[in-house]
Amino acid sequence: MPRFTKEDYRLLCQRISESDEDAFRQVFHVQNKVLFAFLNRLLGSEETAKEIVQEVFLRLWMHRVNLPSIENPEGWLHTVAANLAYSHLRREARAASYKKAQLQAAEGSADQTFDFLEKKDLQQLIHEAVLQLPPSRQTIFRLSKWEQLSRKEIAEKLQLSENTVRNQLAMAMQQIQEYINRKLAIAIPVSLLLIICGH
């Protein structure tokens, strides 16, 4: 797995702060397995570790404008992951101590948006959004994003022009992004959600 130097991270974070999704993708591919392994050891739950990794990278994107001021971005990612893990463990401990449903309503969070995202299955949201597409557009999206076919391959497979495939794919991405952003009430590019959720 490639490793970035401190200067690499500084340059990549500068690009991410300018909404460069390719730079985000590079950091994700290097750090997501590292963070997952760390969280899985700490929590003993692959599913919870995966959810927290997703949340870490959502925070990275949502707070991207502040990245240039962070001295150690790699360390920041691990600190965010650890804090979220400890918060999860504290919530579990509280839940184990009380059996009444009122506890869930009483528990609060300093960051309600990301508490919501922790509970929300992002992959399920993407699948729901895809199911809202017209059948032909849905097929093109699946072939492109989930089967990794090129536009030319899709055009040949479906006997369409490449221009049609490109336009249908763009419309599909727009519809999916609008659906997900409407559900989450925050603006996250669907391409990033696809990266984070492993599609």
Domain range holding 164?
122-196
For the residues 131-143, what does the mean pLDDT come to?
Answer: 89
* Average pLDDT across the chain, whole number: 79
Q: Quote the pLDDT of residue 186.
A: 62
Question: Does any domain span residue 117?
Answer: no
Q: Quote the pLDDT of residue 2.
A: 56
Indicate whether 38 pLDDT > 50: yes
Question: Does any domain span residue 93?
Answer: yes
Question: Does any domain span residue 115?
Answer: no
Residue 183 φ then ψ, to 5°: -70, -40
Least-confidence region, from 49-53, 83-87, 103-107, 183-187: 103-107
Nearest to 141 by CA among 194, 198, 186, 196: 194
Percent of the chain scoring above 70 in pLDDT? 76
Q: Quote the pLDDT of residue 97.
A: 60
Q: Which of 77, 110, 143 is the last residue of a domain?
A: 110
Residue 116 φ then ψ, to 5°: -65, -45
* Angle of the 46-62 helix axis to the 112-119 helix axis, nearest 10: 140
Nearest to 73 by CA among 119, 22, 115, 10: 10
Indicate whether 73 pLDDT > 50: yes
Nearest to 133 by CA among 102, 171, 101, 166: 171
CATH number at residue 87: 1.10.1740.10
The model's pTM: 0.55
Question: Does any domain span residue 1?
Answer: no
